[in-house]
Structure 1
Amino acid sequence: MEELIGRKEEREQLREVLLSREASFVAVYGRRRVGKTFLIREFFKHQFFIEYAGIHDATYRVQLEGFILMMTELTKDKLPSGIPSSWMEAFQLLRHVVTPRLAKEKVVIFFDEFPWLHTPRSGFGPAFEHFWNSWGSRQPNLIVIICGSAASWMIRRVVNNKGGLHNRLTKTIQLFPFTLRETEQYLKSRKIALTRYHVLQLYMVMGGIPHYLKQVKAGQSAVQNIDRLCFTRNAILSMEFGRLYQSLFDGAEKHVSIIRALARKHIGLTRNEIIVACKLRSGGGTTYLLDELEQSGFITAYTPFGKTSKDNIYKISDEYSLFYLRFIEPNQDGGPGTWGTIATGASWRSWSGIAFESICQKHISAIKTALGIPAVYTRVSAWRWHSKAGQSGTQIDLLIDRKDDCINICEMKFSETEFVIQKSYSTELDTKLRVFKERTATRKQLFLTMITTYGVKENEYKVAQVSNDLTMDALFEG
């Protein structure tokens, strides 16, 4: 039996629901494969549990057939024969089945992939609203949970609903991928003992997605696992990319075009740059696409230091998508051993640095803890200055602007050994800090913070410049 790892805050919210003396209506959303269904099933495994999952691209008639089959199995054929003629009738049937149970125990009704049930002209939405508003909300022992991977749909149509479900939710839970710490715990729970360097390499490829991590085999190195999962015949991660976006978004081609554009520009793109790169129209349609990708966890918007949200820079935050476009797609016919070859080349060194930066940006809480400022209010951002004729530009991928009148300028470097600051890089760092001070006119104290895999080697440049030296352990322990 698989163990429920992490999810401390989410479990506490579900525990409050279970102990409540009132009816509860809970919405759970998050990226596909992130473990939403497992969390709900595992937490409520001791309650009377009814589950029905929407079927992707199925007609409402097929959905109804599936629903009645589930109900028939649940009640051991004690149902009227035939398929309900409408969702309104189906929910009436659900009430009939559940009412006797509610008199003596908690009942959990779980609608998985809720957006898929809302087929055109099916009447599911109004029927569900009527079910909850006219009856469900008045049943003290009833817990209704709806779940969906189409995060933006869930937010727009349920969390921010302006109609019959307005302000009806008891709890809203957004489920995120595992952190590095949770990933390490998950692998250990499956008897997979890997060093943090190997765990970090796996995370750079598949992120903290439990379904992907479940495929990791004990007794194999990170390189061996990546090779097997990405480059062998019918490898699970070689076929996942197309399914991933098509199952979440209508007209997914536009979403994928944005992901491809961002994958080509690791420093990120502004909204206008995305419009140009993807040949989109400037307007609400582009905003909607970006919002869908961001809410579903594929991209993240960063507000540059000293700027407003209209100057946001968008970057890919989904490790798998970035890895797929950089390595899997161009090497579909590589076969076994492909990754072992690539992982010793220059392209891997370049990509690993970018991937490590992205992971650091996701673990700000851990970094703050390692810096001893977990309770200090901060704003995290990036900064870049475009060069003019005859001048060079510069950029800072991560800075932590602190309320205590300090700024941590973070430099993130992935290496197989201790990172060495050479004279040329030392000069580059001096220039970066000087230009940042000049262009932003900040009077705050600047702390150069190095975040590396194995730390920075002691030499004159480190002593003179580095205020904080964090290793990858900080990312695992926060």
Structure 2
Amino acid sequence: MTFYNRDDELAALETAFNSPGHDFYVVYGRRRVGKTELLKEFCTDRPHIYYLAAQEAEHRQREKFVEQVADTFDDRVPRIDGWDDAFEYLGDKLTSERHVVVVDEFPYLIAENDSLPSYIQAFVDEQLQHTDSMLVLCGSSVSTMESEVLGHESPLYGRRTGQIDLQPFSFQQARDVITYDLADAIRSYSVTGGTPMYLTLFDYDRTLAENIQTQLLSPTAVLYNEPEFLLRTELRNPARYMSILEAVALGHTTPNEISGATGIDPGPLSKYLQTLRRLRLIDREVPVTASSQKSKRSQYHVADEFLRFWFRYVEPNRSSIEEAPTIVFDGTIEPDLPTHVATTFEDVCQEAVWEAIRRGEFDPYSKIGRWWYGEEEVDIVGLAPDDDRILLAECKWTAEPVGYALVENLRDKAENVRWGPGNREERFALFSRSGFVDGLEEDLDSNWSLFSIDDLDILFSNNNL
């Protein structure tokens, strides 16, 4: 598989490896996010030991680990009785040669022996720190990695020299993979999200409709059951979490709405929501002008475009998909897809604001997000407290060009966004898939910025960096 992006993560690993002394890195993130590809790319052209753990008996895991070490050093496989002996053997080998040692899917080892972090602590303290080698523990179970490796209670706490919480690609990063024109790229991203494996499953020489039907609406396709496998990585009983994710994907965003849609009482629901947030499967959002700790106006959103699409269209229609997938696509998905994509477009436009700031095309804003109060909502609001400056923006994924009505509407909404002094500086921006009516841009002053699809394409182009 082609390796995409991850320049910052590779640079961090390379800097660590090239610095004097030992390094102990922790790399973790959801399934399919590209951890293994990142580490394999990093290990290329470097002396390394790469051990991929499997779900099997402890003694077999240990035997394979020792065999991997012995094979790397062209050594006879020694007799090893426990993990302490295995790591002592590894430590002896590292005294003579500098290596990167990667233990991938580390949670599988912990599942068979929860004392393993203690053995690695001894290895780091007594052997690794006296070498110039690098140990990397990698895992897809976010909860296990955060509790058993990074957590305060872990024997390994405080030993790491760095960590990478690998995230899905942003839309701008995903553009290296998605070769559609920008409008179709946004539609496609609203289906796959930024998970590298999902992105590369699509064939961009085929239409988006063909990709959806082939990769998501076929019971034999990898993505058809993917969310269930993802949840089972983290949760023993995922059924209730599935119902919560489906409710949120279908537009029930407040705790009361989610409780009503799922039948889960508010008390237990708050714990389920906390777990889903910790696993990065949902996000809690408050108005950008409010305090995230104090505000009671919280809303929840599925944190991944692919999961949002799957729980909106696939999970509720499984029986029909099994019988007639084309009818589900033509009758249910395709007519509603613009509504689904409109939410993705808002996120893409928010990326565009940050990119415009980085390029100096916008003045800086320290905080950017959505604002709402009652029925009123502004898609993007940027705050610059030091300069008493506010940015208000709307994003329209419509088939018609944006006209003067939206300008007046946004001006009216600005008066309801209570933030800053009365003489604050107000800037405005409009993002439109279908462009703008003739004469609109000429009639607006310099406080307004208008972005069509073509403008976004230029803004996101790496050639202009």
Same fold (TM over 0.5): yes
Change (3 A) 1:470 1:46: same
Equivalent residue number for residue 305 of structure 1: 288
Unaligned runs of 5+ in 1: 188-192, 387-392
Q: How many Å apart are 1:179 and its aligned residue?
A: 2.4
Does residue 178 (structure 1) correspond to residue 178 (structure 2)? The answer is no
Equivalent residue number for residue 402 of structure 1: 384
Q: How many Å apart are 1:61 and its aligned residue?
A: 4.0
Which letter maps to 1:435? N
3-state SS of paired residue (1:95): helix
Change (3 A) 1:33 1:280: farther
Equivalent residue number for residue 197 of structure 1: 183
Change (3 A) 1:306 1:194: closer
Matches of 2:240 and 2:422, distance apart in 1 = 40
Counterparts in 2 of 1:1-40, with a 5 A limit?
Answer: 2-40=1-39
Which letter maps to 1:379? K
Counterparts in 2 of 1:140-159, with a 5 A limit?
Answer: 140=132, 142-159=133-150
Root-mean-square deviation (Å):
3.2
Matches of 2:444 and 2:352, distance apart in 1 = 27
How high is the sequence identity, in percent, across the aligned residues?
23
Matches of 1:380 and 1:428, distance apart in 2 = 20
Provide, for residues 148-190 of structure 1, a one-character-per-residue CA deviation record: whole Å limited to 9, x for no partner: 2233443343334355323221111222222223222234xxx
Q: How many Å apart are 1:430 and its aligned residue?
A: 4.5
Counterparts in 2 of 1:196-235, with a 5 A limit?
Answer: 196-235=182-221
Equivalent residue number for residue 436 of structure 1: 417
Matches of 2:69 and 2:99, distance apart in 1 = 15
Q: How many Å apart are 1:40 and its aligned residue?
A: 0.9
Which letter maps to 2:280? G
Q: Which moved more, 1:31-40 or 1:303-312?
A: 303-312
Matches of 1:86 and 1:254, distance apart in 2 = 39
Q: How many Å apart are 1:323 and its aligned residue?
A: 0.3
Q: How many Å apart are 1:128 and its aligned residue?
A: 1.4
Matches of 2:142 and 2:99, distance apart in 1 = 26
Equivalent residue number for residue 130 of structure 2: 138
Q: How many Å apart are 1:294 and its aligned residue?
A: 3.5
Provide, for residues 320-373 of structure 1, a one-character-per-residue CA deviation record: whole Å limited to 9, x for no partner: 11100111221523335754565642x222222123224444555225347723
Change (3 A) 1:436 1:218: closer
Change (3 A) 1:138 1:275: farther
Higher RCO structure, 1 or 2 (CA under 8 Å, sep 6+):
1
Equivalent residue number for residue 164 of structure 1: 155
Check conservation: 1:87, 1:123, Cα contact below 8 A: no
Equivalent residue number for residue 389 of structure 1: none
Q: How many Å apart are 1:24 and its aligned residue?
A: 0.5
Does residue 381 (structure 1) correspond to residue 369 (structure 2)? The answer is yes
Which letter maps to 2:254? L
3-state SS of paired residue (1:185): coil
Does residue 470 (structure 1) correspond to residue 451 (structure 2)? The answer is yes
- TM-score where L is the length of structure 1: 0.82
Equivalent residue number for residue 403 of structure 2: 421
Equivalent residue number for residue 62 of structure 2: 64
Does residue 319 (structure 1) correspond to residue 277 (structure 2)? The answer is no
Unaligned runs of 5+ in 2: none
Equivalent residue number for residue 91 of structure 2: 95
Correspondent of 2:254 among 260, 269, 273: 269
- TM-score where L is the length of structure 2: 0.84
Check conservation: 1:450, 1:456, Cα contact below 8 A: no
Matches of 1:137 and 1:475, distance apart in 2 = 46
Matches of 1:281 and 1:68, distance apart in 2 = 50
Check conservation: 1:413, 1:453, Cα contact below 8 A: yes
Matches of 2:404 and 2:424, distance apart in 1 = 27
Matches of 1:467 and 1:435, distance apart in 2 = 19
Change (3 A) 1:199 1:436: same
Which letter maps to 1:28? V
Q: How many Å apart are 1:435 and its aligned residue?
A: 2.8
Does residue 79 (structure 1) correspond to residue 77 (structure 2)? The answer is yes
Correspondent of 1:260 among 236, 246, 251: 246
Matches of 2:277 and 2:182, distance apart in 1 = 28
Check conservation: 1:419, 1:456, Cα contact below 8 A: yes
Matches of 1:220 and 1:109, distance apart in 2 = 41
Change (3 A) 1:19 1:277: same
3-state SS of paired residue (2:5): coil
Matches of 1:128 and 1:241, distance apart in 2 = 32
Matches of 1:277 and 1:63, distance apart in 2 = 44
Provide, for residues 27-48 of structure 1, a one-character-per-residue CA deviation record: whole Å limited to 9, x for no partner: 1122221111101111211122
Which letter maps to 1:421? G
Correspondent of 1:457 among 437, 443, 456: 437
Change (3 A) 1:229 1:357: same
3-state SS of paired residue (2:381): strand
Check conservation: 2:118, 2:156, Cα contact below 8 A: no
Check conservation: 2:117, 2:149, Cα contact below 8 A: no
3-state SS of paired residue (1:4): coil
Which letter maps to 2:396? K
Check conservation: 2:288, 2:370, Cα contact below 8 A: yes
Which letter maps to 2:367? R
Equivalent residue number for residue 325 of structure 2: 335
Provide, for residues 205-261 of structure 1, a one-character-per-residue CA deviation record: whole Å limited to 9, x for no partner: 011111111112242122222221112341222121111111133443444343223
Change (3 A) 1:307 1:221: same
Q: Which moved more, 1:330-339 or 1:199-208?
A: 330-339
Provide, for residues 260-307 of structure 1, a one-character-per-residue CA deviation record: whole Å limited to 9, x for no partner: 2321326x335x765676525648x946x5455345432223332332
Change (3 A) 1:365 1:250: farther
Q: How many Å apart are 1:88 and its aligned residue?
A: 1.9
Change (3 A) 1:340 1:53: same
Equivalent residue number for residue 126 of structure 1: 118
Matches of 1:206 and 1:114, distance apart in 2 = 27
Matches of 1:232 and 1:401, distance apart in 2 = 45
Which letter maps to 2:450? D
Which letter maps to 1:131? F
Provide, for residues 53-85 of structure 1, a one-character-per-residue CA deviation record: whole Å limited to 9, x for no partner: 2335x453453354345446546671135xx44
Q: Which moved more, 1:246-255 or 1:68-77?
A: 68-77
Correspondent of 1:244 among 224, 230, 248: 230
